[in-house]
Structures are given as structure tokens and as C-alpha cells.
Amino acid sequence: MLTFLGAAALAFGAIFVAEFGDKSQLLILALATRYAARPVVIGLVLAVAIIQGISVGIGAVVGAALPTVIVAIVSGVAFLGVAAWTLLGSDDDAEADDQASGRRRLAGISLIGTVAATFILAELGDKTMLATFALAATQGALPTWIGSTAGEVGANLVAVVVGRQIGDRLSARMVRIGSAVLFAVAGVAVLVGALLA
């Protein structure tokens, strides 16, 4: 098990990468192009803190109930699953974009609530939740929650600030393949570590 800072950094990096090209990130991009940045960011932060808290809680309970080697093997397989899921991509991206485009003019607390609720619904059962389960089971709840929350918020802030420029230069396919490779490497590393332990 890594130190507190090491575990938080691992969670940050894994979730930051997992979020790129995800439907929830595209949703935030669409919302940010239509509404003021401040309420979009506040809604995003609230939603991420909630969804990552749920993911970490489930992962920590599973991690405490199972032997360390089994948790590591399940985590490695989960990362490989996330890699496959990322590589296959999703048709939900256009749907998330359409949802954001169809919104009426919102402001203040109602906009924050709309952003938070929409983001949470987009994230339920997503690859970042699966990655967070795996990390919390092996690295501890608090550092995983801090790192994963910061990673997901960071990735979505990138979408708000420079998403349009990146979107014009990199295809969704390139982002998806790069993310899948990183998750596959992480999964193999975790499995090798578990089998050699």
C-alpha cells in the first residue's frame, strides 16, 4: 500500500485520465459553452464529491472484506475492464451533448443543481466509478476520495477551459485509444504485482 500522498496521487492520475473523452466530460463542455462558468464549476465540484464518495465507500467495504491478493487481482482485472470499455467507446457522447443543448436558460442555484444532478446521472456505473472502486479497495478510502475527486474535477476543468481547442486537434478515437492503453498498463502492473506477492 502506498503512502497517503502516493495513494492520493495515484487516484488523481487514474481518474484524471479515465475522465478524458467520457460522456460526462463532454456534457460539462457543452454546459460550459452555454452557461456561465462559475455555476457550472460549482455544480461539477458538488457532483464529483458525491459520486466519488459513493464509489470510495463501496470500494473500501469490498477491500476490507476480501484478502489483499484477491483484492489486487480483482483491481487488476477491473483496470483491464476499464481499458476495454474505454477502447470500445460510447455512443452516449452525442446524447449528452444534445441534453445540454436543449436546456432552457438557467441561472444561480437552479443551474448548479441541474449541473450536479445531470453529472451524477451521467457518471452512475461509469468507468471512473469502477476505477475508483478498485483504487479504494487497495489504497484506502480518504486518499482515494481526495485524489479521485481532484482528478475528476481537474479533467472537467480542462474541458471547460480548453476543450474546444483540444477537440479540434485530437479525435475522440485518439483520446480513447490513449486512455485504454494507460489503463491496460495499470491493470497488467497490478496483476503482476499481485501474482508476485
Query: Which has more confidence, 182 or 141?
Result: 141
Cα–Cα distance for residue pair 122/108, rounded to 1 Å: 21
User: Based on the number of CB atoms within 10 Å of its own CB, is 26 exposed (0-12), middle (13-18) or buried (19 or more)?
Assistant: buried
Reply yes or no on whether the pLDDT at 127 is more than 50: yes
Q: Select the more confidently predicted residue: 143 or 65.
A: 143
Is the model's pLDDT at 100 over the cut of 90?
no
Q: Indicate the pLDDT class of residue 23, thresholds 50, 70 and 90.
A: confident
The pLDDT of residue 68: 66
- Separation in Å, CA 6 to CA 9, 28, 73, 143, 182: 5, 28, 20, 8, 18
Could you tell me the pLDDT band of residue 168, with boundaries at 50, 70 and 90?
low
40-51: average pLDDT: 94
Task: Calculate the CA dihedral of residues 149, 151, 155, 156 and round it to 10 degrees.
Answer: 10
Contact 148, 135 (CB under 8 A): yes
Q: Provide the pLDDT for residue 107.
A: 65
- What pLDDT does residue 148 have? 95
Position 11 scores a pLDDT of 92
Give me the half-sphere count of Cα atoms (radius 13 Å) on the Cβ side of residue 1.
16
pLDDT of 147 reads: 95
Q: Report how far residue 94's alpha carbon sits from residue 173's, in angstroms, rounded to the nearest whole number.
A: 14
pLDDT of residue 86: 67
* pLDDT, position 164: 46
The whole-number pLDDT of residue 1 equals: 56
* pLDDT at residue 197, as a whole number: 65
Rounded mean pLDDT, 58-87: 75
Selected residue with higher pLDDT from 144 and 23? 144
User: Which residue shows C-alpha cell 454546459?
Assistant: 31
